[in-house]
């Protein structure tokens, strides 16, 4: 058995200026590492050794700019990444020949993201938020394994790819009196890899009968893309031809509804409870009769199974926090 080792760190720097607004530089990162060995009971003969590691990191810059008394702009640009890798060594003759590489792989993904949001206060009852989010994703997947027939290492995977996602949104908050407020808006998503798009209306109602109690009700459409590797994953058919089965996979979609209750128990203690329901549709499932495969249960980085957006389901539950 191995002992995992962890390293992480974070920082944040606030940089105000006289006229150009306030900048904030931030970052967080970490990695984990574990080595495991297979050896004899007394430890004098080593049979095999595996080395597994993972890492993640984010660095970014935010900017807040006051345009006038009723408008300010909030923008962020960031670079994030995560990945994992494995190295496996073993010997055919324990105690006689040294360990030799038998498998290695590495999966890495990076995202460059830029966002900007314009916040506008029309008056005491009306506020607007409008923004855009642009993400550029890229990845590399590599694997190298021992071929027993050829008696050599064989490259089984070496692939890269990239894709751009564009999102835009606008929301309007209307506070028509001290007790009632309504937030409504629309969210748009476009995935440039295969041209898939979605328009998603959303709304939330809040009723606050007193300063210590509130009820909320929200509903809306939501969609998302899957891991970038899913769209680029290649498979080999029975005739030896290479295909990309999921390059045109559609967006995963859902309808969300939630009812909430908030109660101040004391000056510093708040109870929040929510009951939610999610209807899932256009879910990616395997395009094979009798298969129970759903991409939402996948633990690996990607799959080469042929997927279609024909799955349905639901989630429901209650959450509470103090």
Residue 263 is predicted with a pLDDT of 95
C-alpha span between 125 and 180 (Å, rounded): 11
Taking the C-alpha atoms of residue 259 and residue 214, their distance in angstroms, rounded to an integer, is 11
Q: So what's the pLDDT on residue 1?
A: 60
Residues 6+ apart with CB under 8 A from 194: 231, 247, 248, 249
Q: What is the per-residue pLDDT across 287-305, written as a single tens digit (0 to 9) for each?
A: 998 899 999 998 887 888 9
Q: Which residues are registered as beta bridge partners of 145? A: 103, 154
Residues in CB range of 309: below 8 A, 6 or more apart: 249, 250, 251, 252, 253, 282, 283, 284
Q: Give the pLDDT confidence of 104-134 residue by residue, as tens digits.
A: 999 999 999 999 999 999 999 999 999 999 9
Quick one: CA dihedral 138, 144, 145, 147, positive or negative?
positive
How far from 225 is each of 22, 153, 179, 278, CA to CA, in Å? Answer: 33, 35, 38, 17
Q: Are 108 and 83 in contact (CB under 8 A)?
A: yes
Q: Domains in the chain, ordered, with CATH?
A: 5-321 (2.40.170.20)
CA distances from 1 to 49, 84, 126 (A): 11, 20, 61
Pick from 28, 27, 25: nearest CA to 63: 25
Residues (pLDDT < 50) of the chain are none
Which pLDDT score is estimated for 47? Answer: 86
What lies within 8 Å, CB to CB, of 39 at 6+ separation is 45, 46, 47
pLDDT at site 72: 97
Torsion of CA 190, 195, 201, 202, to 10 degrees: -50
């Amino acid at each position: 058995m191995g002992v995992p080792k962890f390293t992480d760190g974070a920082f944040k720097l606030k940089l105000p200026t006289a006229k150009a607004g306030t900048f904030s530089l931030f970052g967080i990162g970490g990695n984990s590492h574990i080595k495991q060995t297979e050896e004899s009971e007394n430890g004098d003969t080593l049979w095999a050794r595996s080395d597994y590691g993972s890492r993640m990191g984010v660095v970014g810059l935010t900017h807040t700019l006051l345009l006038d008394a009723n408008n300010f702009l909030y923008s962020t640009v960031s670079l994030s990444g995560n990945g994992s890798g494995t190295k496996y060594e073993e010997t055919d003759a324990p105690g006689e020949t040294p360990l030799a590489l038998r498998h290695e792989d590495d999966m890495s993904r990076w995202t460059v993201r830029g966002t900007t949001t314009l916040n506008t206060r029309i008056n005491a009852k009306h506020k607007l938020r409008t923004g855009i989010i642009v993400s550029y994703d890229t990845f590399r997947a590599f694997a190298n394994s021992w071929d027993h027939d050829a008696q050599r290492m064989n490259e089984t995977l070496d692939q890269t790819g990239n894709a751009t996602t564009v999102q835009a949104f606008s929301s309007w908050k209307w506070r028509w009196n001290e007790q009632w407020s309504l937030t409504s808006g629309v969210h748009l998503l476009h995935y440039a890899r295969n041209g898939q798009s979605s328009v998603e209306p959303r709304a939330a109602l809040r009723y606050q009968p007193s300063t210590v109690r509130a009820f909320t009700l929200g509903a809306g459409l939501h969609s998302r893309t899957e891991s970038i590797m899913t769209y680029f994953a290649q498979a080999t058919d029975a005739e030896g031809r290479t295909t990309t089965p999921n390059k045109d996979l559609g967006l995963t979609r859902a309808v969300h509804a939630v009812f909430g209750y908030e109660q101040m128990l004391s000056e510093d203690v708040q109870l929040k409870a929510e009951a939610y329901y999610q209807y899932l549709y256009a879910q990616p499932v395997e395009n094979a009769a009798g298969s129970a495969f759903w991409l939402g249960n996948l633990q690996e980085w990607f799959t080469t199974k042929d997927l279609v957006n024909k799955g349905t389901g639901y989630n429901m539950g209650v959450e509470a926090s103090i």
